Amino acid sequence: MTKVIKLALAASVLVGGLSANDVIKGSGASFPYSVYQKWTKAYYKATGIKVDYISKGSSKGIKDAKARQVDFAGTDKPLSPKALKKYNLYQFPGVVGAITMGYNLPGVSNLKLSRSAIVAISEGKVKYWDNKLITNANKDLHLPHEKVTFVHRADGSGTTFNYTYFLSKVSKNWRHTYGAKKSLNWPGRQHIGGNKNTGVASLIKQTPYSVGYIDYADAQKNGIIMAAVENKAGKYIKPELKAFQTAAAKASLDPKKDFYSVIADPAGANSYPIVAATFILVPAEKPQMDKKVTAFFDWSYKNGQEIAKSLGFVPLPDSLTNKISKYWEQKEIK
């Protein structure tokens, strides 16, 4: 085969769609990375189409989307309809997950953390593990007089945004003083920061008497013990898929608002309190590539449910994926 013929054939493949060497490129939130990674592998096995998603954090994902550095971006902090219009982006949810309070407390495996204790730890006001805010909910445990080290994200993070949004719902003082942000100058002195959820996991594992917020999948993968957390109804809920599903059912995700919504501290006696939806951004001016991106997520919604569940994520219900599909059709990206 001559070089000219080879080039002609390659060109015809590119015109028809993705070639064997083409890759759909994505970047952003580390929170859903484990499920996206498995979805991309399963999608490639089923279709031969490569999707490459790089975990960078939500801030960098949004930045990549604005700069058109990727075909799609992941963010745990949804953009408002106004911001989407400004940057000419479309947005839809990918999956729902949970943020847990992972800890490294030698000899303790069934810790409970009240809402007030979580806020005080985050504010740097709880210095030792035997502080009454912690011991009051753990009468059956002997908690040591050891310094508490709070572990947080050091990079711009949607996980941080959703965690601080939860703190803002729980505490007026937190809301007025710090608010909900992707990055924060954390108060107090006894805190350390790690990049991405994997960095937080590493720090918790190697730092005795530490506690920090981390997504369920990374905590589970790294064998980190997670606390039961007090919900709005005053019940202590263990981080488990059933409790995440109960919480996710309370979410209001409206296509008319480009699905803009933050789900934190939902109602319900059995709801796990710190849950978050994670979102996908695509450029409005690239409908042909967007169709390839939405084809991947459409396949994942339909075929990746068990994968998501195995990692502790909540697959989107049919009622919501039907709304997403209609949103894609309306935007002409399906």
How many structural domains compose the chain?
Answer: 2
Pair (109, 237) in one structural domain: yes
- As a whole number of angstroms, the distance between CA 224 and CA 100 comes to 10
302 and 165 fall within a common domain: no
Residue 272 lies in a domain: no
pLDDT at residue 251, rounded to an integer: 81
Q: Are 174 and 310 within one domain?
A: no
Per residue in 201-228, pLDDT tens?
999 999 999 999 999 999 999 999 999 9
1 domain-assigned: no
271 assigned to some structural domain = no
Confidence band, pLDDT 50/70/90 cuts, at residue 86: very high
Question: What is the DSSP-derived secondary structure letter of residue 110?
Answer: -
Structure tokens at 54: 């790089």
- Candidates 297, 254, 250; CA nearest to 276 is 250
* Mean of pLDDT over the chain: 92
Statement to judge: residues 51 and 118 lie in one domain: no
Q: Is residue 14 part of a domain?
A: no
Which residues have a Cβ under 8 Å from the Cβ of 195 and sit 6 or more positions away? 57, 153, 154, 155
The model carries a pTM of: 0.85
Q: Are residues 111 and 200 in the same domain?
A: yes
Residues 71 and 108 in one domain: no
Provide the pLDDT for residue 20.
Answer: 47
The Cα–Cα gap between 98 and 95 comes to: 10
- Are 156 and 225 members of one domain? yes
Residue 18 within any structural domain of the chain: no
Same domain, 106 and 227: yes
Question: Distance between CA atoms of 65 and 7, rounded to whole angstroms?
Answer: 31
Position 60 in a domain = yes
Same domain, 159 and 54: no
40-83: pLDDT as tens digits:
999 999 999 999 999 999 999 999 999 999 999 999 999 999 99
CATH number at residue 174: 3.40.190.10
Q: Residue 315: CB partners within 8 Å, gap ≥ 6?
A: 95, 301, 304, 305, 308, 309
29 and 116 assigned to the same domain: no
104 or 12, which is more confident?
Answer: 104
Average confidence (pLDDT) over 234-261: 92
pLDDT of residue 263: 87
Give every CB contact of residue 16 below 8 A, 6+ residues apart in sequence. Answer: none
DSSP 191-226: EEEESHHHHHHHHHHHSTTEEEEEEHHHHHHTT-EE
Structural domain range at position 204: 99-248
In this structure, what token pair is assigned to residue 314? Answer: 């909540």
Beta bridge partners of 214: 100
**Alpha-carbon span 37 to 300, nearest angstrom:** 11
Chain center to CA of 181: 14
Q: Check whether residue 86 and residue 186 sit in a common domain.
A: no
**Is 226 found in the same domain as 130?**
yes
Q: What band does 252 get if pLDDT is binned at 50, 70 and 90?
A: confident
- Percent with pLDDT over 70 in the chain: 94
Q: From CA 64, how far away is CA 58, in angstroms rounded?
A: 10
Candidate from 77-81, 313-317, 329-333 with smallest mean pLDDT? 313-317
Distance CA 250, CA 162 (A): 16
| Residue 7 located in a structural domain | no
> Is 4 within a domain?
no
**pLDDT for 21:** 59
